[in-house]
Structure 1
Amino acid sequence: MADPYKIGFIGLGLMGEGMATCIVKAGHRLTVTANRNRAPVDRLVAAGAAEADTPAAVARDSDFVVVCVATAEQVDAIVTGPDGILSAAHPGLTVIDCTTSHPDVTRRVAGACSAAGVSYMDAPLARTPTEAWEGRLNIMAGADDAVLERARPVLSLFAENIFHIGPVGSGHALKLINNFLSIGAATLTVEAALAARSLGVDHRKLFEVCSAGGANSAMFQAVMPWILDGDDTKMRFSIANARKDMGYLKSLAEKARLPATVLPAVSATLEAATSGGAGDDYIPKLYNFALNSKA
């Protein structure tokens, strides 16, 4: 292969560890840093990655730094904070933000990067941790053409499809809309299952009929296995993360004065579940929270 890329990776969660493992397996130089959980770092170091102690140290030894964390606030701190990426800015450095983030924060962080001579793009992800480990994610890229083309070989290490959405911030905006469609369908499935239970309709008949018709969806197929058989692994996305994403989109809708009726309802459902202690549960378990609340 051509000379290996020097890539940093910050955020080794459900998606990040698989993505970073794809980079190491492809033979590129990878530098990682620990966040809350050391185990993924130890596994990656054993596979050939180097470890650094701060985002600045990661950036210092990288030409590309992938950030894949939970919130816009974390991205801001990682890039612009003390010992952040920009404190080790150097010519040619590109930040690839794979977080599901707030577009307003994205554009502000991108401006700070530009002022420091660093390229930045938003590159939020679609698909699941399974595809992350297989290098088959979808990416919604917000970047100018030159930055995207420079980053494309790196993105291709863990992505099957790269969609160029538009300028910086547009990838994150579309990701939030995408998640609204997915999370909205999941919460609707939960409510439909509660209605079936209350009206004496067998859940397996609900599943059988809806799976064969227009009511079927990927989210219906992801949520119903939990309700039927206690399997919550088909949608490994936490209620708290869903609440965060819908909160970001709700703030954008309010700022733009967009008409919205479904979004506030979905957001309120997730807020109640998170406040009620279910935030760390995967979304299919919204059914249990709603059932207990109803009782």
Structure 2
Amino acid sequence: MQGTVDGFSYGLVTPVVAYVMACLGGALGLRCTTRALLVRQSWRPGWLLLGSAAIGSGIWTMHFIAMMGFTVRETPVHYDPALTFASLGAGVAMIGTGIFVVGYSGGTGAALFTGGTVTGLGIASMHYLGMAGLSLDGRLEYNTLTVAASVAVAVVAATTALWTAVQARGFLWSVGASLLMGLAGTGLHYTGMAAVHVELHGSTGAPDGASSAELLAPMLIGPLAFLLVAVVVVLFDPLLVLGRAEWTRAALLPAAVVDEPTLVGVPPVHRTPQRR
């Protein structure tokens, strides 16, 4: 017997809020990634780690909010805590790998393709490992072609978002990159959910695992608190909210003002102090 699946139990509320969260995490993470291209080597890993965690936390939170609207009429849906939280770790690790590839390559075409592909696959692993944590009186089945399409959406959108972020040509480019990274997460999620069918077992036993309400607090408080910290870091670093034009001018300042700029396309400038 096939279950009646509804991915929009709360209408447009869950997809809109989920997309906003994915865009917020993407905005913070991508700005940290472009900032990493400007600083000295010793500071670069810190910015890239912050960016990876921001993108991963935003997309993981997006997934959870979107899943709040997922129901199967004939059976309650529960979640396995271990697999649910494992999806966060696995996703952040793969997203971080892609971000580090871009951050240490100088944003070359080959690196953007590789980093974007790995980042998109990280988003996909976060989603499908999280789906593996669902516990209900039935079995999840997927349409293979739709699953492949969902992964393609994530890879293409993540690659384009990273390319747009590396351009760093101003505020609108940054907004565009954030919207694309949000699309990578939500596009994969809802395309992947369109591939889901539930084959019911027909038993009367309750499924194991925690309910959505029981996981709500720990799933939201941690990632949201981290994103708040990331917002504070961004707000206290003016170069993170400026475009390439300002970064280029910053590269012309003495090293005491900007720590050894290494932004792609900006040659190092050595200025001899003038005597007064």
Q: TM-score over 0.5 for the alignment?
A: no
Larger RCO (CA under 8 A, 6+ residues apart): 2
Structure number with higher helix proportion = 2
Normalising by structure 1, report the TM-score: 0.26
More strand by share: 1
